[in-house]
Amino acid sequence: MNDELMIDVRDLHHAYTHGGVVEPVLHGIGLHVQRGEFVVVMGPSGCGKTTLLNIIGLMLTPTRAETVRVAGCETLGLDEALRTRLRRDALGFVFQRFNLLRTISVRRNVALPLGLRGMAADGPVDDLLARVGLAGMAHKKPGQLSVGQQQRVAIARAVVGRPALLLADEPTGNLDSANAAAVLDLLSEVHRADGQTIVMITHNEQLAVQADRVLHMRDGRILD
């Protein structure tokens, strides 16, 4: 065991079963990510990137693995209550489709993770909205913002609780190149300024250049 490792995955296999048909998707993945690293995962559609991220993010239990340690905690065999707690306390998520709540304000969206942990919200939320360039937007509803602005709200929400690990699944997939670059600059800034550990999936080679390390996946395996 090495506590410098934010992610320690060994011999990870996953198969989906639908209608009695078993589809193996991950074939013996090994992945080590150091604390403070910014790692990008690239690979063709269907190669298993989201499956891997969902396992690391405790949203999916793997078929089998030797080890899946996340933020210093062995997640294999952990009961659902502890998985939920680890997810809430140690992880932040950014998705391609933002997943903002449309009926509440930008400020309340960003404050949600703090509310779930019973923490006071307004100070850090307003600081963070200023930092992502949305200081004047706190009272608006997500639908009143551009898609690029909505993704910056989603990033603010993902990092507001200072999670040990930020997981981003094609966070720029719905954005034009200017907005994609702005979102990536924001992630890089959070990485540099806060030492935030980030694992990001992207299709875009140009977005990968800011990473400390780029991993390539094919057919359920990480190539080296």
Q: Where does this chain bind ligand ADP (CB under 6 A)?
A: 16, 18, 23, 25, 43, 45-51
Minimum CB–partner distance for residue 26 and ligand ADP (Å): 8
Is residue 50 close enough to count as binding Mg ion by CB under 5 A?
A: yes
Judged by beta carbon, residue 48 or residue 161, the one nearer ligand ADP is 48
Judged by beta carbon, residue 91 or residue 190, the one nearer ligand ADP is 91
List the beta strands (DSSP E) in the chain.
5-18, 21-34, 38-42, 67-70, 73-74, 91-95, 165-169, 197-201, 213-218, 221-223
Judged by beta carbon, residue 48 or residue 124, the one nearer Mg ion is 48
As a three-state string, the secondary structure of 145-201 is CCHHHHHHHHHHHHHCCCCCEEEEECCCCCCCHHHHHHHHHHHHHHHHHHCCEEEEE
Q: Is the dihedral of CA 187, 194, 59, 155 positive or negative?
A: negative
Please choose, from the candidates 48, 72, 43, the residue with its C-alpha nearest in 3D space to the C-alpha of residue 60. Answer: 48
Please choose, from the candidates 132, 160, 159, the residue with its C-alpha nearest in 3D space to the C-alpha of residue 146. Answer: 132
User: In this chain, which stretch among 48-56, 119-127, 185-193, 215-223 interacts with Mg ion, using CB under 5 A?
Assistant: 48-56
Minimum CB–partner distance for residue 143 and ligand ADP (Å): 27
Cβ(39)–Cβ(212) under 8 Å? yes
Judged by beta carbon, residue 145 or residue 208, the one nearer ligand ADP is 208
Q: Could you tell me whether strands 165-169 and 197-201 are parallel, antiparallel, or unpaired per DSSP bridges?
A: parallel
Minimum CB–partner distance for residue 113 and Mg ion (Å): 23
Pick from Mg ion, ligand ADP, none: which does 25 bind, CB < 5 to 8 A by kind?
A: ligand ADP
Cβ(69)–Cβ(75) under 8 Å? yes
Judged by beta carbon, residue 111 or residue 184, the one nearer Mg ion is 184
User: In this chain, which stretch among 43-51, 74-82, 111-119, 123-131 interacts with Mg ion, using CB under 5 A?
Assistant: 43-51
Minimum CB–partner distance for residue 98 and Mg ion (Å): 15
Pick from ligand ADP, Mg ion, none: which does 18 bind, CB < 5 to 8 A by kind?
A: ligand ADP
**Residues of the shown chain interacting with Mg ion in the complex, contacts defined by CB under 5 A:** 49-50
